[in-house]
Amino acid sequence: MRQHVTLNVVPLKCSASTSDVVQRAIDERIKLKNDNETEDSVWALLDLECDLHVRQLAEDEKRRAEQSGVAVALSDPCFEVWTLLHLEDTGTLFTDCNAVIKRIESAWKSCFAQDFPRKAQADCSKIIGLRHEAARRAKQHWEAQDPSRTEVYRIIEEIDSHLPSSQPAS
Protein backbone atom coordinates (compact mmCIF):
# COMPACT_ATOMS: atom_id res chain seq x y z
CA MET A 1 0.00 0.00 0.00
CA ARG A 2 1.30 3.43 -0.90
CA GLN A 3 2.12 5.83 1.88
CA HIS A 4 1.72 8.92 -0.29
CA VAL A 5 0.42 10.10 -3.63
CA THR A 6 2.20 12.57 -5.86
CA LEU A 7 0.16 14.86 -8.06
CA ASN A 8 1.65 16.51 -11.11
CA VAL A 9 -0.53 19.20 -12.63
CA VAL A 10 0.23 19.91 -16.26
CA PRO A 11 -1.44 23.24 -17.03
CA LEU A 12 -2.34 24.43 -20.48
CA LYS A 13 -3.24 27.90 -21.71
CA CYS A 14 -6.74 29.02 -20.77
CA SER A 15 -7.49 29.12 -24.48
CA ALA A 16 -6.65 25.42 -24.94
CA SER A 17 -9.43 23.50 -26.65
CA THR A 18 -11.02 20.36 -25.29
CA SER A 19 -9.11 18.41 -27.93
CA ASP A 20 -5.84 20.03 -26.82
CA VAL A 21 -6.45 19.06 -23.19
CA VAL A 22 -7.22 15.45 -24.09
CA GLN A 23 -4.27 15.16 -26.46
CA ARG A 24 -1.91 16.53 -23.81
CA ALA A 25 -3.28 14.00 -21.30
CA ILE A 26 -2.86 11.14 -23.80
CA ASP A 27 0.73 12.28 -24.49
CA GLU A 28 1.40 12.41 -20.73
CA ARG A 29 -0.05 8.91 -20.30
CA ILE A 30 2.24 7.54 -23.02
CA LYS A 31 5.25 9.29 -21.47
CA LEU A 32 4.51 7.90 -17.99
CA LYS A 33 3.98 4.42 -19.35
CA ASN A 34 7.34 4.55 -21.10
CA ASP A 35 9.22 6.16 -18.19
CA ASN A 36 8.31 3.80 -15.36
CA GLU A 37 6.36 0.83 -14.22
CA THR A 38 4.38 2.44 -11.43
CA GLU A 39 0.63 2.49 -11.40
CA ASP A 40 0.12 6.05 -12.58
CA SER A 41 -3.17 7.54 -13.62
CA VAL A 42 -3.70 10.53 -15.85
CA TRP A 43 -6.79 12.70 -15.73
CA ALA A 44 -8.13 15.31 -18.14
CA LEU A 45 -10.45 17.91 -16.64
CA LEU A 46 -12.99 19.23 -19.13
CA ASP A 47 -15.48 22.07 -18.76
CA LEU A 48 -18.87 21.86 -20.48
CA GLU A 49 -19.24 25.67 -20.63
CA CYS A 50 -23.07 25.81 -21.05
CA ASP A 51 -22.62 25.30 -24.78
CA LEU A 52 -24.25 22.44 -26.70
CA HIS A 53 -21.36 22.18 -29.18
CA VAL A 54 -18.77 22.12 -26.38
CA ARG A 55 -20.81 19.47 -24.55
CA GLN A 56 -20.86 17.18 -27.56
CA LEU A 57 -17.17 17.71 -28.21
CA ALA A 58 -16.41 16.98 -24.55
CA GLU A 59 -18.34 13.70 -24.71
CA ASP A 60 -16.50 12.73 -27.92
CA GLU A 61 -13.12 13.64 -26.40
CA LYS A 62 -13.99 11.80 -23.19
CA ARG A 63 -14.47 8.59 -25.21
CA ARG A 64 -11.19 9.17 -27.05
CA ALA A 65 -9.33 9.80 -23.79
CA GLU A 66 -10.75 6.75 -22.03
CA GLN A 67 -9.82 4.54 -25.01
CA SER A 68 -6.24 5.74 -24.45
CA GLY A 69 -6.26 5.00 -20.72
CA VAL A 70 -6.89 8.58 -19.60
CA ALA A 71 -9.64 9.24 -17.07
CA VAL A 72 -11.84 12.28 -17.61
CA ALA A 73 -13.68 14.43 -15.09
CA LEU A 74 -16.32 16.71 -16.55
CA SER A 75 -17.46 19.92 -14.87
CA ASP A 76 -20.68 21.75 -15.68
CA PRO A 77 -20.34 24.57 -16.48
CA CYS A 78 -16.71 24.83 -15.29
CA PHE A 79 -14.04 23.54 -12.91
CA GLU A 80 -14.76 26.38 -10.50
CA VAL A 81 -17.88 24.47 -9.38
CA TRP A 82 -15.40 22.23 -7.54
CA THR A 83 -14.02 25.21 -5.62
CA LEU A 84 -17.53 26.42 -4.81
CA LEU A 85 -18.54 23.01 -3.41
CA HIS A 86 -15.87 23.41 -0.73
CA LEU A 87 -17.66 26.52 0.47
CA GLU A 88 -21.34 25.71 -0.02
CA ASP A 89 -23.63 22.96 -1.20
CA THR A 90 -25.26 23.92 -4.48
CA GLY A 91 -26.26 22.30 -7.72
CA THR A 92 -28.03 25.39 -8.99
CA LEU A 93 -27.97 26.45 -12.63
CA PHE A 94 -25.24 28.95 -13.49
CA THR A 95 -25.38 30.79 -16.80
CA ASP A 96 -21.61 30.66 -17.21
CA CYS A 97 -18.34 30.37 -15.33
CA ASN A 98 -18.36 34.05 -14.35
CA ALA A 99 -21.58 33.41 -12.39
CA VAL A 100 -19.84 30.56 -10.53
CA ILE A 101 -16.87 32.81 -9.73
CA LYS A 102 -19.17 35.53 -8.40
CA ARG A 103 -20.75 32.96 -6.08
CA ILE A 104 -17.28 31.80 -4.96
CA GLU A 105 -16.31 35.41 -4.22
CA SER A 106 -19.36 35.84 -2.00
CA ALA A 107 -18.91 32.51 -0.19
CA TRP A 108 -15.15 33.07 0.24
CA LYS A 109 -15.76 36.47 1.83
CA SER A 110 -18.35 34.89 4.16
CA CYS A 111 -16.08 32.02 5.16
CA PHE A 112 -12.74 33.80 5.43
CA ALA A 113 -13.62 37.49 5.88
CA GLN A 114 -11.45 38.44 2.94
CA ASP A 115 -11.83 38.96 -0.78
CA PHE A 116 -11.34 36.02 -3.11
CA PRO A 117 -8.21 36.75 -5.15
CA ARG A 118 -7.88 36.00 -8.83
CA LYS A 119 -8.44 32.25 -8.98
CA ALA A 120 -4.81 31.46 -9.84
CA GLN A 121 -3.70 33.27 -6.67
CA ALA A 122 -6.28 31.77 -4.31
CA ASP A 123 -4.86 30.23 -1.15
CA CYS A 124 -6.25 26.71 -1.57
CA SER A 125 -4.81 25.68 1.80
CA LYS A 126 -7.88 27.44 3.24
CA ILE A 127 -10.20 24.86 1.66
CA ILE A 128 -8.09 21.70 1.30
CA GLY A 129 -9.44 20.33 4.58
CA LEU A 130 -12.95 20.57 3.12
CA ARG A 131 -12.19 18.39 0.09
CA HIS A 132 -13.99 15.31 1.37
CA GLU A 133 -17.14 17.32 2.06
CA ALA A 134 -16.79 18.89 -1.40
CA ALA A 135 -16.36 15.41 -2.91
CA ARG A 136 -19.47 14.14 -1.12
CA ARG A 137 -21.45 17.12 -2.39
CA ALA A 138 -20.05 16.78 -5.91
CA LYS A 139 -20.94 13.10 -6.11
CA GLN A 140 -24.45 13.79 -4.87
CA HIS A 141 -25.01 16.54 -7.47
CA TRP A 142 -23.45 14.48 -10.26
CA GLU A 143 -25.66 11.48 -9.54
CA ALA A 144 -28.74 13.72 -9.33
CA GLN A 145 -27.74 15.29 -12.67
CA ASP A 146 -28.11 18.76 -11.19
CA PRO A 147 -27.55 21.75 -13.49
CA SER A 148 -24.14 22.53 -12.00
CA ARG A 149 -21.97 19.59 -11.09
CA THR A 150 -18.49 18.16 -11.35
CA GLU A 151 -16.85 14.76 -11.47
CA VAL A 152 -13.71 15.98 -9.68
CA TYR A 153 -14.87 13.91 -6.71
CA ARG A 154 -13.71 10.85 -8.67
CA ILE A 155 -10.13 12.10 -8.49
CA ILE A 156 -10.37 12.46 -4.71
CA GLU A 157 -11.80 8.93 -4.49
CA GLU A 158 -8.93 7.58 -6.59
CA ILE A 159 -6.28 9.35 -4.53
CA ASP A 160 -7.82 8.08 -1.30
CA SER A 161 -7.96 4.53 -2.69
CA HIS A 162 -4.16 4.51 -2.90
CA LEU A 163 -3.62 5.52 0.71
CA PRO A 164 -3.92 3.46 3.88
CA SER A 165 -7.47 3.84 5.20
CA SER A 166 -6.18 5.62 8.30
CA GLN A 167 -4.35 8.20 6.19
CA PRO A 168 -6.62 10.38 4.03
CA ALA A 169 -4.92 12.58 1.46
CA SER A 170 -3.66 15.83 2.97
pLDDT of 130 higher than 70: yes
pLDDT of 24 higher than 60: yes
| Domain contains 12 | no
pLDDT of 51 higher than 70: yes
pLDDT of 20 higher than 50: yes
| Domain contains 139 | yes
What is the domain range of residue 57? 18-161
| Domain contains 61 | yes
Angle between helices 153-161 and 131-143 (to 10 degrees): 120
| Domain contains 121 | yes
pLDDT tens-digit map of 98-129: 999 999 999 999 999 999 987 678 888 999 99
∠115-118-122 over CA atoms, to 5°? 75
- Give the confidence band of 50 by pLDDT, cuts at 50, 70, 90: confident
pLDDT tens-digit map of 54-102: 889 999 999 999 999 999 999 999 999 999 999 999 999 999 999 999 9
**Per-residue pLDDT at 11:** 73
| Domain contains 170 | no
Do the Cβ atoms of 119 and 80 come closer than 8 Å? yes
**Per-residue pLDDT at 75:** 94
**Per-residue pLDDT at 169:** 52
pLDDT of 15 higher than 80: no
| Domain contains 48 | yes
Of 49 and 138, more confident: 138
| Domain contains 27 | yes
Angle between helices 97-112 and 80-87 (to 10 degrees): 30
**Per-residue pLDDT at 36:** 67
| Domain contains 140 | yes
Structural domains counted in the chain = 1
